[in-house]
Amino acid sequence: MEVNKINHTAPDVFTQLLKAREKYTFPFEPREVGYITSVSAGIVKVSGLPSVGFEELLKFSGDLYGIAYNIDEDEIGVILLGDDSMLNVGDEVERTERVMDIPVGQTLIGRILNPLGQAVDGEGAIPHEHRLPIERTAAAIMDRSQVSVPLQTGLKVIDALIPIGRGQRELILGDRQTGKTAIAIDTIINQADKNVICVYCAIGQRASTIAKLIANLKEKGAMAYTVVVVTEGNDPPGLKYIAPYAATSIAEYFMEQGSDVLIVYDDLTHHARAYRELSLLLRRPPGREAFPGDIFYIHSRLLERSTHLSEELGGGSLTALPIIETEAQNISAYIPTNLISITDGQIYLSPKLFELGILPAVDVGKSVSRVGGKAQLPGYRSVTGNLKLAYAQFEELENYSRFGTRLDEETKKTIAHGKRIRNWLVQERLQPLSVVEQIVVLLALTKGYFDTIPLEKTRDAEAALQKASDELDADIIQRLFSKGKLSDEDQETILGLAKIALSPFGADKEESKTGEKATSNPVNGENHNPPENPASVD
């Protein structure tokens, strides 16, 4: 019986096998595979990929990727995104049919990653749900709103004289070691409890510099709302080139969710040099200073992505602080002038002020904000008044007085007031000040309350007044942040508080004694009164 049963079922099994074979189709997927024809430092030439697209991601052996950048008839110039030491001529290259992208999302906050989206902080892989291309089209003009909300940096000289608005692009430029990165880091630290997400992009920096910077951010608790994208000086030029674009895509994700974002590019000098290196290796024709002809375009398409979106698109903003390095204070060089024309203003740092110890070494005369004034709090505008003009007049008179010219009392008072303005602009690193502290001191300064205080005591007097600002009523503090100007009554209340706080330092002395300190050194308080000109004495 069992044998008959088996014979009976055998034809059914065979029929099922035949049907299964007919339904089965071999999964045939065509692949385009090319091969390497030459290998250079950060660049490879590839042949055999006729359908490859511009900026398409190509895969090499060893899980190494590159971007197709030169699409010629016979070969393709590829920018490598990793070490080329393991590649050889003849190795296979495979298309991925996608462009370079990077993971984005809330899980990136507090992490340190490279431009490929790989974590480099030793805390494991970064989980993510979304990826965005690193190259994205900037928002259309009709999708943008005007810059109307200030971005407080916590730095007196910037918030008062060169204000920055959310959605603005403000260039920071100056010679080496003048404090450019310090301004950016202080601005990031000041965003605590202000609902601003920060992205710091280090382009070709020394590993020790990056480590120190991250340590400062962790110490101040700023990593809780910051994403750090890093490339070191010994990284391939391809990674340095894509770093700011990858960081901007991360920032754009938060902006499109309706958040306010601050991004720092430190610095675009290294970015331009990396692109010049890649372009020359790809045999692209060099132009001015050996930079390729599209060097302006690579920075303009990057910075145009920073904006303030309209309410229909969520109302988020992306504020950019690109940093650029000048040589011998030459702000008219090729790359600086390019970026000055792209951005909405610049903050210039002077080596002369840095050497004098006036930090941050912002040259107020050469710095400008073309947008932020419209976003500045009215409380600032009502107390700054002619502060910038008074400071400019003081610098002119100070230079004039060095020739030994006899000065009248009014000129001496102007110089004394200007010295106190310059002393007020000095601020310690990693110590950003609140809006209330700045406005209270600034109001007392513009009204001349510091003019009778000896120059060597102004720092202590300012600290005492900042501490006393905590005693202001909540209603006045709220009006400082409102869209209306300070009323005369509020100003009188603040000035009354300032008079009490400054009285122990000599603020109630007679103004006639001001001339005694008129030309004291702003740094160490030494007396440098110019001698009278003998020829002018009767």
* SS3 state of residue 231: strand
369/321 Cα distance (integer angstroms): 12
Q: Which of 111, 144, 370, 479 is catalytic?
A: 370
Report DSSP letters for 327-378, one per residue: STT-TTSHHHHHHHHHSSEEEEEPHHHHHTT-SS-B-TTT-EESSHHHHS-H
Q: Where are the alpha helices (DSSP H) in 24-119?
A: none
Angstrom distances, CA of residue 156 to CA of 46, 159, 183, 360 = 54, 5, 11, 9
Q: Degrees (nearest 5) of the Cα angle 39, 44, 45?
A: 105
Q: Say whether 305 is catalytic.
A: no
- Residue 314's CB: how many other CB atoms inside 10 A? 13
Taking the mean position of all CA atoms in its chain, how far away is CA 502? Answer: 37
Residue type at position 508: D
Are 507 and 499 in contact, with CB atoms under 8 Å apart? Answer: yes
64/82 Cα distance (integer angstroms): 6
35/391 Cα distance (integer angstroms): 65
Taking the mean position of all CA atoms in its chain, how far away is CA 17? Answer: 67
* SS3 state of residue 261: strand
Angstrom distances, CA of residue 203 to CA of 156, 211, 346, 467 = 28, 14, 20, 39
Q: Where are the alpha helices (DSSP H) in 163-204?
A: 180-189
- Strand 92-99 to 56-60 pairing: antiparallel
- Tokens 């009248």 correspond to what residue? 408
Q: Which of 227, 241, 161, 229 lies closest to 188, judged by CA?
A: 227
> Would you please indicate which residues are annotated as catalytic (active-site) residues?
370
